[in-house]
Amino acid sequence: MELFSAVFWLALLKIVFIDLMLAGDNAIVIGLAARNLHPSVQKKAILYGTAGALVIRIVATVVVLWLLKVPWLLLVGGILLIWIAYKLLADQGEEHNDIKAGSSLWVAVRTIVIADAAMGLDNVIAVAGAAEQHLVLVIIGLLISVPIIVWGSTLFIKLINHFPWIIYVGAIVLGYTASHMITEEHRLVPFFTEHPALRILFIVLVVAGVVFAGYRKRSSNNRRSGEQQRSYS
């Protein structure tokens, strides 16, 4: 992949989009960790915490990029990413009552960094897959998307609430990235090279399967939630 070619920019756009799709929980953590601080200190906590989380995210993604070169780990990473894509659609948003508000600047910073590291595995795997072994893409993509996560994620979450179809676009992108990772597994490349039609069919089936399964789970959750609300009223 040549730097700043059309393929490069497309991959970079995919990385930023994936990060934004998976950033909702991270934004909630940042807000919860800093909620008890004075407004003047909150900005510092968010800035320092995000900087620490960004460094850890880059290091973790570099490690995953290296691991994906090990035989069969592209396959494993692709399967994990399929699960992440499904969960993106299936989950209705989890509560984070276990995230404690920091009582001081550095306590809040520590909380943000630790919580982001614990919750960032899905982002790391997705970004590593979308980067296609390209380290420069990883770093540029994270440098662009993390500040957006900090200052623009609330707006993005509202956008998703108004236009739910964006979630499905995200799931499709993740499903495509996952299936592409699997077909790029070194041990499977000869098979898919010999049968390009099967490669296309496999990618289509993975993407369609993720969207269908996620939609069914999401619909089931909505029905269950509606029934519970009616029973309480």
pLDDT classification of 30: cutoffs 50, 70, 90: low
pLDDT tens readout for residues 2-25: 667 788 888 888 888 887 777 655
CA dist., res. 157 & res. 229, Å (int): 24
Name the CA dihedral angle for 154, 155, 159, 162, rounded to a multiple of 10 degrees: 80
Question: Which of 154 and 7 is assigned the larger pLDDT?
Answer: 7
Q: Is residue 150 a contact partner of residue 28, using CB atoms and an 8 Å limit?
A: no
pLDDT tens readout for residues 84-135: 888 878 875 454 455 555 567 777 777 777 766 666 667 788 888 888 768 8
Q: Is residue 112 a contact partner of residue 49, using CB atoms and an 8 Å limit?
A: yes
pLDDT tens readout for residues 58-76: 888 888 888 878 888 888 8
Angstrom distances, CA of residue 48 to CA of 87, 134, 155: 30, 27, 21
Question: Which of 174 and 142 is assigned the larger pLDDT?
Answer: 174
Q: Is residue 53 a contact partner of residue 116, using CB atoms and an 8 Å limit?
A: yes
- With H, G, I as helix, E, B as strand and everything else as coil, classify residue 183: helix
CA dist., res. 203 & res. 179, Å (int): 5
What is the domain partition of the chain in residue ranges?
6-232
